[in-house]
């Protein structure tokens, strides 16, 4: 089985000095789930990535918050974490409410120091809680702590994002794109394009038109040789 853990070491995605090829189907990042009913990270709600209550580290390539009614849970504030796993797949998981409040507490310190949250490695742990009416009904809240990346790690992350942009332009999740962002860092879509992405798309269109307008090279023609029939 492939290593589907979130990548927490940018240098792991470099082989012999070359950045590992990134796989990303535009608008469809791999669907990870931060399961706070059981306190673990999984893929597609099925494949366990971490053990219950086990903390993990992740470096986001994009972060976005929205306010929306998702998964039949009513109107809530959500945060999308986009990241690369150790196989260089673009992935995303989401969290909301109390977990988002915990993230904001850490984000606030970065904000006032003019540090981008995508320039940090995040450790996500699970805090066990019980409902007021019964101790049997347990759930978890995600807690967050960050560690600044080193300058060379930030440079590698920038190169990885650049590779995604060159191939796909936008980093987004199609199923939530219609809900406008309340905050975004590194996120963009065809509905919320960043200025740099608009320029990139314009260059791609110009290149496409240029390629289409180039005259096609004429195919070489070969003359068929005629052979005379032998006469007696």
pTM to 2 decimals?
0.87
Q: Is residue 229's pLDDT more than 50?
A: no
Cβ-Cβ contacts under 8 Å for 168 (sequence gap 6 or more): 24, 26
Give me the chain's average pLDDT, please. Answer: 90
pLDDT higher than threshold 60 for residue 223? no
Say if residues 177 and 191 touch (Cβ distance below 8 Å).
Answer: yes
204 Cβ neighbours under 8 A, 6+ residues apart: 169
The percentage of the chain sitting over the pLDDT mark of 70, rounded to a whole number, equals 90
Distance CA 204, CA 170 (A): 13
pLDDT at res. 231: 44
Q: Is the model's pLDDT at 222 over the cut of 60?
A: no
For residue 42 the two structure tokens come to 């999984």
Residues 76-103: tens digit of each pLDDT: 999 999 999 999 999 999 999 999 999 9
- Alpha helices per DSSP H over 27-150: 97-112
In tens, the pLDDT along 108-125 reads 999 998 889 999 999 999
Distances in Å between the alpha carbon of 127 and those of 2, 45, 88, 122, 139? 29, 20, 29, 16, 8
- Indicate if the pLDDT at residue 42 is higher than 80: yes
């Amino acid at each position: 089985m492939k290593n589907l853990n979130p990548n927490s070491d940018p240098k792991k995605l470099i082989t012999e000095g070359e950045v590992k090829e990134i796989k990303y189907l535009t608008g469809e990042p791999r669907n990870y789930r931060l399961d706070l009913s059981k306190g673990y990270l999984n893929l597609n709600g099925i494949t366990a990535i971490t053990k219950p209550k086990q903390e993990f580290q992740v470096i986001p390539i994009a972060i976005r918050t929205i306010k929306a009614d998702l998964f039949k849970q009513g109107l809530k504030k959500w945060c999308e974490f986009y990241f690369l796993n150790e196989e260089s797949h673009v992935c995303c998981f989401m969290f909301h409410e109390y977990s988002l409040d915990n993230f904001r507490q850490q984000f606030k310190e970065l904000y006032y120091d003019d540090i981008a949250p995508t320039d940090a490695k995040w450790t996500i742990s699970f805090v066990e809680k019980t409902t007021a009416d019964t101790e049997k009904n347990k759930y978890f809240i995600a807690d967050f702590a960050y560690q600044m990346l080193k300058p060379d790690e930030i440079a590698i992350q920038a190169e990885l994002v650049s590779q995604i942009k060159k191939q796909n332009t936008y980093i987004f999740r199609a199923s939530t794109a219609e809900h406008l962002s309340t905050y975004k860092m590194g996120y963009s879509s065809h509905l919320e394009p960043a200025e740099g992405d608009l320029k990139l798309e314009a260059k791609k269109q110009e290149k496409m038109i240029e390629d289409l307008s180039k005259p096609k090279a004429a195919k070489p023609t070969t003359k068929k040789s005629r052979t005379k029939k032998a006469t007696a």
